[in-house]
Structure 1
Amino acid sequence: MAALSEQPDALKGIGRGVEREALRITPEGTLSSAAHPIALGSALTHQWITTDFAEQLLEFITPVTYSVPDMLTQLQDIHRFTYRAMDGESLWPLSMPCYVENEDDITLAQYGTSNVGQMKTLYRQGLKHRYGSVMQVISGVHFNFSFPDSFWQSMFGDQAPYARQESVSDAYFGLIRNYYRFGWMIPYLFGASPALCGSFIDQTKTNLDFTVLGKGTNYLPYATSLRLSDLGYTNSAQSGLKIGFNGLDQYLEGVRAAIRTPSADFAKMGVKDASGYNQLNANVLQIENELYAPIRPKRVAKSGEKPSEALERGGVEYIEVRSLDVNPFSPTGIDDTQVYFLDLFVTWCALSDSEPMTDCELPCWRDNWNKIVLEGRKPGLTLQIGCQGEQLTQAEWGRRVFADLSELAVVMDKAYGGDNYQKVCHELVSWFDEPEKTLSARLLREVIEQQSIGKVGLAIAKQNAELYSQGEYHLVSESQFIEESRVSLKKQQDVEQGDAISFDQYLAEYFGDSVSL
């Protein structure tokens, strides 16, 4: 921190990107049954608009941007084009799904007839068999973040290329460890899934003691993010994985072990039968993307390169924060307050001391996160700091961290001009003493008033549809979107025509000796 105070410009040039997921819904608030709109191009090759698990689950991707307003404006442009291409449909504005009558109403995402397209759909088929489709259409927001070269120069000085690569990777893993230790603040502040539609519970198993509203809304009074509980995003089937974060080698060893380790439960499902494939393989993870994690180390992969191969080749390039619920109070699912806070928090995680994480510490942070997502706004809730037994309430710990964040905010405002970071600190620290200001509390108030999460979600969806039915594009023009859709369809056709081997051979070559098909 001291070095940056002397040279705040080292923080200029932070790279950011957002991935926002959203279900397409009918005007009545039910899941759309329509295929991915052709006006949105190919979900396989479009650079800004794709699908996640299901045909109905859109994913919007902004390119790397070095300005917070520009990133959010790009996201607005993507929303505006998408709404105008959906023929009367709108986007569900909440993380937990809308009413889903039957799991079969969820259609696996389709990517065409190419080998890579078929593999993407088959991977989703495996997820359906393993975890159920309803859990897979929970929506979130992912925040991608990278430090500029000037930041690493201020941290490490001059280094040979490989030494710099190792230093940067080690620093990102230090950041990741601190994120696990302190990142519970993100669902506390920004969790926005304290309630869910009863149809979700009907098709999943839970022991949680929900309060029931009206004809089918379930909630926990102090919950912040049911999406991050065992009920949703954080799948209990992976709780036994031993993936460490004390360095790149340890992390890659853990991920690769999970990919190569057979699962007796998944083997019972069978990989292939007379009707075709059921899943990619019967291992604990089919592929690396199946690892559920609130944060991931990342590097842009070359064509045909697996994520772990990219990391091994070039080290960590950026991190992906995956613990953000969709913000129902922002038409794009995320707002500038959240982004400025994430800038601050992630930078603080990188600058703060980060001891190696011991085996006893892993259950500790998991327990803290679980307490926050299920009862984070409960007065006097205590969390444990490390393995030493010290405990603090969530409010006391939050204020302690924000004291550091406030100092860093001054430095970051010097780098970028204005007072955005200091304003965000001043606002958010008050949410620990006034939990009714958090997103989860605000949403739950509306749900209780309306006696229905469906009514609240549909009302917001209609407001957003009206907003984006009008207004001008700002950074990406309508003609650019139309051209990107046209080009993406041509790219998919080229990929399909370029295949020279069978799908069986493609899978065998992709996995090599790492799995048993």
Structure 2
Amino acid sequence: MFSRIGQLIFDNEAVAKTSDFTMGLEIEMQRVDEDGNLSQEPYPSAIGDEKTNPWITNDFLETMAEMVTPSAQHALDAMHYLYVINNTLRSALAPGELLWPMSMPPRLPKDKTKLRLAKMGPKKEAYLKEWAKRHGYSQGTPCGAHINLSIDTHVVEMVLEAFPERFKNEREVRNYLYTVLAQGFVRYRWLLTYLYGASPLVEENYFEPGKGLPHPIRSVRQSKYGFGTKFTGDFTNLDRYIARIEEGVKAGILTSDYEFHGPVRFKGNADLKKLPEQGIEYLELRMLDLDPSSSVGVRTGTLRFIRLLASYFIMHPPLKENEVEDILLNADKMNETVAEENPQEVCQYQAKARAILKSLERYANQIQLGPEYSEILEDLEDRVENPYTTPSAKLLNYVKDGSLTEYALRRAKRYQRAAQETIHPFKGFEDGHIYTADELRQELTR
């Protein structure tokens, strides 16, 4: 059953718009040498300055490259931009350098203080030092695929026009719709962890001596062993989202509002206090491990599934406001359970996963999405029925002496060779020119 807003969208035949969210990608990968150690090389000079190039920058470590695409209307366009930017970085690497294709880092030095924090200016460097002191260096090293998702303006305008008694302006519509989306993605994060988790183990020196995993798991990065601050956000509404983060800063749990690294973040004005005035402009989804079977860390089918989920969430009734916090706290526990399961075992929530995918299949048929969505859902249904077909379980076939280093380096070298064979590599960052999103889109589509 659609919500009133969902029915409005359906009746106006705007469903294609809701499944066609604008997407931008942020993909993190560690630079390594041919032996699988973190690189000692500086940020590649052929792509300008890490402090001013917003499209290939660094995050946490100097070796932790972050590739950012301009937003795109279609998943294929987003992937095209990512491939060009990824190849641009690869072609600028020093001889012998590679991009590590896994979410969890390669082997780390025993003395973590030897790791080089990103050189992103005095303020950011001071923040990174404080963060490392609080949480340890290892916790800052996992990499992932982040998806920035924004709603088509046509949908926002249509909802405002149809419900003037409920929303005063576009900002209120956006805040409401993005909150509904955020709740959906946090609620079903566990399903994404099951379907796309690809970090079953860690390499040498990630843990301190005497500590470690009891057995391989679905996703180290999405578990309590993975990235960053374990601070729970409040997604009831925008005001409570902001208040919860401010409480965390006041209590000293967070060093600043920037340190909130929830699975979903509301994005708009960089100043959290000004976010209500400007409104939410997009969501940042942070729950995907890198896909090591892809040279760019993510696949087109994954982006399409994320868009399908977003469309489904917008079209269906949202959670009741007084139930949001309890339901999402339970969802966090479910995610931890799934993340720490043995990848080769049937998921504890298999029946729930099966039911959700069946609902999505019915929905996709109802709104007449193309055959590519049917193929994606069939593949994901296979993963639910047979855990051996999930990414983490497949990776266990390549473990040698408790490590995935040999597999990761083999992949990294293959991807590097392919990039070096590109006939016309993009060289637009060499002179340090800072592109706007529109300029970069134009350059990357030539």
TM-score by length of 1: 0.76
- The answer as to whether partners of 1:234 and 1:293 remain within 8 angstroms in 2 is no
2:250 to 236, 247, 260: 260
Name the larger-Rg structure: 1
1:402 alignment counterpart: 357
Residue 377 to residue 97, structure 1, CA distance change in 2 (3 Å)? closer
Residue 419 to residue 235, structure 1, CA distance change in 2 (3 Å)? same
1:285 alignment counterpart: 254
Measure how far apart 1:478 and its partner are: 2.1
Give a deviation string over 1:133-156, Cα, whole Å, max 9, x none: 121111111011111022234545
Measure how far apart 1:132 and its partner are: 1.1
- Residue 93 of structure 1 pairs with residue 87 of structure 2: no
- Residue 194 of structure 1 pairs with residue 142 of structure 2: no
- Residue 151 of structure 1 pairs with residue 155 of structure 2: yes
Q: Sequence identity of aligned pairs in percent?
A: 24
2:296 alignment counterpart: 332
* Distance across 2 between alignment mates of 1:87 and 1:254: 44
* Distance across 1 between alignment mates of 2:367 and 2:410: 38
1:79 alignment counterpart: 86
Amino acid at match of 1:47: P
Amino acid at match of 2:108: V
- Residue 487 of structure 1 pairs with residue 433 of structure 2: yes
* Distance across 2 between alignment mates of 1:156 and 1:372: 39
- The answer as to whether partners of 2:108 and 2:204 remain within 8 angstroms in 1 is no
- What are the equivalent positions in structure 2 for 1:223-262 lying under 5 Å apart? 223-233=217-227, 235-236=229-230, 238=231, 243-261=233-251
- The answer as to whether partners of 2:23 and 2:72 remain within 8 angstroms in 1 is yes
Give a deviation string over 1:370-425, Cα, whole Å, max 9, x none: 1110006464543xxxxxxxxxxx221112111221133236655xxx42222211
- Residue 369 of structure 1 pairs with residue 335 of structure 2: yes
* Distance across 1 between alignment mates of 2:108 and 2:76: 35
Residue 470 to residue 4, structure 1, CA distance change in 2 (3 Å)? same
* Distance across 2 between alignment mates of 1:145 and 1:376: 31
Amino acid at match of 1:487: H
Measure how far apart 1:52 and its partner are: 0.2
* Distance across 2 between alignment mates of 1:246 and 1:195: 34
- What are the equivalent positions in structure 2 for 1:48-197 lying under 5 Å apart? 48-88=55-95, 89-101=97-109, 102-111=111-120, 117-158=121-162, 162-197=168-203
1:298 to 267, 291, 296: 267
Measure how far apart 1:254 and its partner are: 1.1
- The answer as to whether partners of 1:413 and 1:420 remain within 8 angstroms in 2 is no
Residue 207 to residue 460, structure 1, CA distance change in 2 (3 Å)? closer
Give a deviation string over 1:185-213, Cα, whole Å, max 9, x none: 1110101001111321236x846423xxx
2:408 alignment counterpart: 457
Residue 82 to residue 177, structure 1, CA distance change in 2 (3 Å)? same
2:284 alignment counterpart: 320
* Distance across 1 between alignment mates of 2:149 and 2:221: 22
SS in 1 for 2:54: coil
1:389 alignment counterpart: none
* Distance across 1 between alignment mates of 2:19 and 2:345: 39
Measure how far apart 1:158 and its partner are: 4.2
Give a deviation string over 1:242-294, Cα, whole Å, max 9, x none: x4211111111111122222xxxxxxxxxxxxxxxxxxxxx321222211211
* Distance across 1 between alignment mates of 2:229 and 2:45: 33
SS in 2 for 1:50: strand
- The answer as to whether partners of 1:50 and 1:58 remain within 8 angstroms in 2 is yes
Deviates more, 1:319-328 or 1:363-372: 363-372
SS in 2 for 1:199: coil
1:275 alignment counterpart: none
Measure how far apart 1:81 and its partner are: 1.2
- Residue 32 of structure 1 pairs with residue 69 of structure 2: no
* Distance across 1 between alignment mates of 2:362 and 2:327: 28
Measure how far apart 1:83 and its partner are: 1.1
Deviates more, 1:421-430 or 1:92-101: 421-430
Structure 2: runs of 5+ lacking an equivalent: 436-446
* Distance across 2 between alignment mates of 1:374 and 1:93: 21
1:385 alignment counterpart: none
* Distance across 2 between alignment mates of 1:174 and 1:315: 14
Residue 180 to residue 439, structure 1, CA distance change in 2 (3 Å)? same
- The answer as to whether partners of 2:157 and 2:170 remain within 8 angstroms in 1 is no
- The answer as to whether partners of 1:20 and 1:140 remain within 8 angstroms in 2 is yes
- The answer as to whether partners of 2:235 and 2:241 remain within 8 angstroms in 1 is yes
Give a deviation string over 1:45-93, Cα, whole Å, max 9, x none: 1131000001111000000111211111111111111111111211111
Cα RMSD, aligned residues only: 2.3
* Distance across 1 between alignment mates of 2:335 and 2:381: 19
Structure 1: runs of 5+ lacking an equivalent: 112-116, 211-219, 262-282, 383-393, 490-517
- The answer as to whether partners of 2:201 and 2:213 remain within 8 angstroms in 1 is no
- The answer as to whether partners of 2:45 and 2:430 remain within 8 angstroms in 1 is no
SS in 2 for 1:142: strand
Deviates more, 1:172-181 or 1:90-99: 172-181
- The answer as to whether partners of 1:146 and 1:318 remain within 8 angstroms in 2 is yes
Amino acid at match of 1:410: N
Measure how far apart 1:472 and its partner are: 3.7
1:388 alignment counterpart: none
* Distance across 2 between alignment mates of 1:333 and 1:176: 23
* Distance across 2 between alignment mates of 1:401 and 1:426: 13
* Distance across 2 between alignment mates of 1:362 and 1:419: 32
Residue 366 to residue 376, structure 1, CA distance change in 2 (3 Å)? farther
TM-score by length of 2: 0.88
2:374 to 422, 442, 447: 422
- The answer as to whether partners of 1:100 and 1:199 remain within 8 angstroms in 2 is yes
* Distance across 2 between alignment mates of 1:12 and 1:343: 5
